[in-house]
Chain A
């Protein structure tokens, strides 16, 4: 999927700031 085919929210949801799984990385 390229940014041009994604809707704006799909694009936003790729933000690292929304990826809380990194809180669990040791």
Chain B
């Protein structure tokens, strides 16, 4: 029996064999194929070119293509491994692999660190932390006075910056996360374990070529 995934997907830019992606990620070949269904849906929502553009990513996340969000921008940028402004299928699978329940915790912690290292300096700085808190307040309509924001940022920074050099490095981040494990909650997507159930149409209609 032929494989619909291979026949249709080979023409897509950034196509990669599911067996290769399965070997490099926590996903099985069936799961990679099910992810292709999700990828197709997102990548064809505005421009049907087999690539996820930022507006398509925003549309999938917020049901609104124009809703800008600092954190969604950061996630998009980290998924865009080639840094060419779009997410290809291979990038989508490799990046989502970090969110798999079976992915190593160290990978999740490192991903979150890069997410919060807004200026790519290798450190999370106080200014970045405050910028992120303000972005969250803006997004949530939560109102906190500047004094309260300063207090929250100060307290957190002192707690995390154990070396006291005014910036949070990866080692400090790892230690901080071990004390506040809830911070890693959104780095695991239970859905990814059931992805073949969520997108079963492909799996039922095809078999994998050896």
Query: Interface on A for B, CB 8 Å cutoff?
Result: 3-4, 6-24
**Interface residues of B: mostly helix, strand, loop or mixed?**
helix
- Whether B139 contacts A24 by the Cβ 8 Å rule is no
> What is the 8 Å Cβ interface bit string for chain B, positions 160-178, against chain A (1 contact, 0 not)?
1000000000000000100
- Whether B99 contacts A20 by the Cβ 8 Å rule is yes
- Whether A10 contacts B182 by the Cβ 8 Å rule is yes
- Whether A17 contacts B71 by the Cβ 8 Å rule is yes
List of A residues within 8 angstroms of B186 by Cβ: 13, 18-20
Given contacts A12-B71, A17-B71, whether A7 and B136 have CB atoms under 8 Å apart is no
A4 to chain B, nearest CB (A): 7
Number of B residues near A (Cβ < 8 Å) is 43
Report which of A8, A10, A24 forms a contact with B129, defined as CB distance below 8 A: A8
Query: Interface on B for A, CB 8 Å cutoff?
Result: 38, 42, 60-62, 69-75, 96, 99, 115-116, 129, 132-133, 135-136, 139-140, 142, 144, 148, 152-153, 155-157, 159-160, 176, 180, 182-183, 185-186, 189, 191, 195, 198
Cα distance A19–B191 in the bound complex, in angstroms: 12
B116 to chain A, nearest CB (A): 7
B32 to chain A, nearest CB (A): 15
Query: Besides A8-B132, A11-B133, A12-B133, 17 other CB < 8 A contacts?
Result: A7-B152, A7-B155, A8-B152, A9-B160, A10-B180, A13-B186, A15-B69, A15-B71, A16-B71, A17-B74, A17-B75, A18-B115, A19-B186, A20-B75, A20-B99, A22-B62, A23-B42
